[in-house]
Structure 1
Amino acid sequence: MNDLNAPLGKNLPPKKHAPKTSPSPPTGRGFALILGVIFIGILALNIYTFIDTHKDTGTLVVRLPEPEPIEIAEAESEPETDKPEVEVIYGQPDANLSQEPIIAAERETITEVSPGGPRIITIRDPQATEIGQPDGQRHRPVQSALEETDAGKLPKRTDDGRRPVDIYARPWSNAGGKRIAIVIGGLGLSQTGTQRALDQLPPEITLAFAPTGNSLDRWMGVARKKGHELLMQIPMEPFNYPQVNPGPHTLRLASSPETNLENLQWAMARMTNYSGVTNYLGARFMGEKQAITPILEELGERGLLFFNDGSSGTAGNLGADAARARVPYAAGNVIIDSSNSPDDIRTKLKALEALAEARGTAIGTGSALELTVKIVSEWANQAKKNGFEIVGIAALASDPERKR
């Protein structure tokens, strides 16, 4: 029985307490969690240390510590040496020349292949007169070699003495041997015929343009890009004039020297980038010294060559007159297409080969007829394989000024 006078709870049985125990160590999962929290905290602290607020855009840029620089030894680059000047020509190699590049201390001249011709390399005397334009510039006239006149732009010597015959000539090897030049005239008169000639004729063939042709500047550009040397045809009085009429602006015996010079300049201004002029007909005119001398003097002053295509059958003293006028001069030996027979044309070309075999050089002339173009194209590539070098007309001109 409980004592009623005892304080409240005094007579209640004492409470039982759970025995005291030490805390249990954390489990593996809890330990990993703790380490993760610590790692994140440390990482956040490090990132915070390297955070920089971008003042212009407000973008937070995190900068990590830069790695230690690694020293790399740089090889000293050797200074560039001047490379030999390279020019492109075409032709047949000397038998002693290999087909591999020649390393030479002197100036190097690389011969490029046209269809049917092998690749050759020759060395030209660096003291010789500079011939030709650089690749990629042949279709552009050299402005310093042009003169503005009432007739138009006319070729002239540059202030430093270079002549159009040197600037626009097709380079050649100077290797000697058997050399042949072919001049095909009448370019520009027929658009179809001109395009066909440019498509088919190898670049060694010299092309002569008629002043009455169309689009001559455009055709000049195409022909020069392909590597052809060019001439401008000048209409001259033949026998039986006017029944045989070369066309407008013909140079005539009845005309005054001033008129003939005006007509000459009219023709020369029709195109640029040519090395010289050639006659169109003109047997009577070229046979008269008083008529031809002012023309040769004008050409000599301007630095152009004169090519006698051989159609006149006269003008025996023309070469001597040209030399006195300081004009590079060449004359054709064989008219290859005096008939329209394929066999005759091939026979004439064989005659050119025989002449080159005997004398070392030969010059043929022809017209831009479809048959002529086809046969000359086939012949030229075979002739190169047979040891003949096909050259531009300037290569075979007797030149009172050129250094050889």
Structure 2
Amino acid sequence: MAGTPLTELNRPLGQDRPGSALAPRRPWARWIASGAAGIVGVAFLGVVLYAAIKRDPDGGRPVAVASIEKRAAPPPVTPAGPSGPSVAEAPNSGAASAGQLETSAGVTVYRPDASAPGSIVITVPDQAATIRLAPAPDMRLAERTRFGLLPKVAADGTTPAKLYARPVGPEPTPKPLGRIALIVGGLGISQTGTADAIAKLPPQVSMAFAPYGTDLDRTVQRARGEGHEVFLQLPMEPFDYPDNDPGPHTLLTGPKAADNTERLSWLMGRFTGYVGVANFLGGRFTADEAALSPMLREMAARGLMVVDDGSSPRSLLAASATRARIPAIRIDRTLDGVPQAAAIDKELAALEAMAQERGIAVASATALPVSLERIARWAQGLEARRIQLVPLSAAGSFRNPKTTGSLR
């Protein structure tokens, strides 16, 4: 080969280029060659992977196929009540029957203001301890005045007598032999006595607050928070006035009766959330039809209930209110006319007998320590004796319409 002349066919590639003898001394040439080989290898691997992926688009990952199908929504299920069909299945029998259903079942229906048109909140209690009264004040039922917030009838006809009342709750099983409504008055003046009454008395006991205590609104709301519906006691002129003075802003007869509207506004503005009013004293005032009429017109316009404490046999309060179509009731018995334990126990026994005879009996007491102690002790055994305590606002729904002082 040494003597063979170099031609295009046997000349080593690049051997005739100038400076080709220096090629082995340039390492970067080898690096370029190595890089080129690497690129070729990567390209080849890419081709292989591409082919594999084309054959298996999921690249070897586990694959599961699930079908999606539409199903019709199940029909709505309305829970049935304790007995019989659900409320939704009941025939539409009108507003009167709906109101009766709310009262008998202990259902509170609260209809918010116009910010939520058509909405209602329904509270269905399952036992006495779970019943919660409607919040107060509800501004739909409140009028701002220089005397404070006064009650009024809402634009939709809702009244304080209805909204602020305590629901009766479900009827006990077995059926009661009689029912008793009890109101305890004189609250709000003594902080200790009021706190004891709220703590000791069952929540079904209604409470009446005098208008003269301090921090009344907070005290009243604490009582309502424990489930007690509340009433406002109105001081009224007794026969021996002014020797026996019920207090400032007393409602009076005679020439001074012209100022009763302003006095009444001051009294009603003392706190909020009350179902109605009850007289405090007032033998002369409640026997005077001319003095009573303006007050009763105010009660009717403001949607309040009226309670006659039964202390005066000459009182026209309950009868006049009933004729004016104002919800009203008269107390049957006063438990602590003689504030002694034995006498109170005797009155309580007579009250039970009256309840069993008439179906419902209504009583009042004052917040004396002995009265609170005897009532709390007596109430503990009522369930065993099949006597049901009900709020005063509901007493009329159980009373025989022929009974004097019935609530209408």
TM-score (norm 2): 0.69
**For 2:158 and 2:300, how far apart are their aligned partners in 1?**
13
**Partner deviation per Cα, 1:37-87 (whole Å, 9 max, x = no partner):** xxxxxxxx99xx9xxxxxxxxxxxxxx986434537788663544557x9x
Query: Per-residue deviation at 1:129?
Result: 7.5
Q: Is the 8 A contact 2:286 2:292 kept in 1?
A: yes
**Partner deviation per Cα, 1:23-42 (whole Å, 9 max, x = no partner):** xxxxxxxxxxxxxxxxxxxx
**For 1:330 and 1:403, how far apart are their aligned partners in 2?**
5
1:71 matched to 2:66? The reply is yes
Q: Secondary structure at the match of 1:330?
A: strand
Q: What is residue 33 of structure 1 aligned with on the other side?
A: none
Q: Secondary structure at the match of 1:365?
A: strand
1:178 matched to 2:159? The reply is no
Q: What is residue 391 of structure 1 aligned with on the other side?
A: 390
Q: Structure 1 pair 254/351, CA: closer, same or farther in 2 (3 Å)?
A: same
Any runs of at least 4 consecutive aligned residues in structure 1 with deviations exceeding 6 A, and if so which? Answer: 72-76
Structure 1 unaligned spans of 5+: 1-44, 50-63, 87-100, 109-123
Q: What is residue 228 of structure 1 aligned with on the other side?
A: 228
**Partner deviation per Cα, 1:243-272 (whole Å, 9 max, x = no partner):** 211111101114544411211121111111
**For 1:308 and 1:137, how far apart are their aligned partners in 2?**
24
TM-score (norm 1): 0.69
Q: What is residue 151 of structure 2 aligned with on the other side?
A: 155
Q: Structure 1 pair 105/219, CA: closer, same or farther in 2 (3 Å)?
A: same
Q: Is the 8 A contact 1:147 1:153 kept in 2?
A: yes
**For 1:392 and 1:107, how far apart are their aligned partners in 2?**
28
Give the residue type in structure 1 aligned to 2:374.
I
**Partner deviation per Cα, 1:72-118 (whole Å, 9 max, x = no partner):** 7788663544557x9xxxxxxxxxxxxxx44532379xxxxxxxxxx
Q: What is residue 104 of structure 1 aligned with on the other side?
A: 85
Give the residue type in structure 2 aligned to 1:144.
R
Q: Structure 1 pair 176/212, CA: closer, same or farther in 2 (3 Å)?
A: same
Q: Structure 1 pair 105/284, CA: closer, same or farther in 2 (3 Å)?
A: same
**Partner deviation per Cα, 1:96-144 (whole Å, 9 max, x = no partner):** xxxxx44532379xxxxxxxxxxxxxxx953538554645563432221
Q: Is the 8 A contact 2:308 2:318 kept in 1?
A: no
Query: Per-residue deviation at 1:349?
Result: 0.7
**Partner deviation per Cα, 1:346-391 (whole Å, 9 max, x = no partner):** 1001111111122222111111112111211121232233122211
1:196 matched to 2:196? The reply is yes
Query: Per-residue deviation at 1:164?
Result: 1.1
Q: What is residue 293 of structure 1 aligned with on the other side?
A: 293
Give the residue type in structure 2 aligned to 1:354.
A
**Partner deviation per Cα, 1:157-179 (whole Å, 9 max, x = no partner):** 11111211111122226888522
Q: Structure 1 pair 359/257, CA: closer, same or farther in 2 (3 Å)?
A: same
Q: What is residue 115 of structure 2 aligned with on the other side?
A: none
**For 1:146 and 1:130, how far apart are their aligned partners in 2?**
24
Q: Structure 1 pair 205/78, CA: closer, same or farther in 2 (3 Å)?
A: same
Q: Secondary structure at the match of 2:179?
A: strand
**For 1:318 and 1:66, how far apart are their aligned partners in 2?**
89
Query: Per-residue deviation at 1:290?
Result: 0.6
Q: Is the 8 A contact 1:308 1:330 kept in 2?
A: yes
**For 1:368 and 1:200, how far apart are their aligned partners in 2?**
11
* More helix by percentage: 2
Query: Per-residue deviation at 1:322?
Result: 0.9
Greater CA drift, 192-201 or 257-266 = 257-266
Q: Is the 8 A contact 2:396 2:407 kept in 1?
A: no
Q: Secondary structure at the match of 1:382?
A: coil
Q: Structure 1 pair 302/67, CA: closer, same or farther in 2 (3 Å)?
A: farther
Give the residue type in structure 2 aligned to 1:206.
S
**For 2:141 and 2:101, how far apart are their aligned partners in 1?**
16
Q: Secondary structure at the match of 1:267?
A: helix
Greater CA drift, 221-230 or 67-76 = 67-76
**For 1:337 and 1:189, how far apart are their aligned partners in 2?**
19
Residue of structure 2 aligned with 1:164, choices 149, 152, 160: 160
Q: Is the 8 A contact 1:129 1:166 kept in 2?
A: no
**For 1:367 and 1:83, how far apart are their aligned partners in 2?**
44
Q: Structure 1 pair 332/136, CA: closer, same or farther in 2 (3 Å)?
A: closer
Q: What is residue 39 of structure 2 aligned with on the other side?
A: none
How many percent of aligned residue pairs carry the same amino acid?
Answer: 38
Alignment of 1:78-157 (within 5 A): 78=74, 80-81=76-77, 101-102=82-83, 104-106=85-87, 125-128=97-100, 132=108, 134=123, 136=132, 138-157=134-153
**For 1:107 and 1:335, how far apart are their aligned partners in 2?**
44
Structure 2 unaligned spans of 5+: 1-44, 50-58, 90-95, 111-122, 124-130
**For 2:269 and 2:261, how far apart are their aligned partners in 1?**
12
**For 2:261 and 2:177, how far apart are their aligned partners in 1?**
39
Q: What is residue 280 of structure 2 aligned with on the other side?
A: 280
Give the residue type in structure 1 aligned to 2:66.
E
**For 2:364 and 2:334, how far apart are their aligned partners in 1?**
5
**For 1:145 and 1:66, how far apart are their aligned partners in 2?**
69
Q: What is residue 307 of structure 1 aligned with on the other side?
A: 307
Alignment of 1:31-42 (within 5 A): none
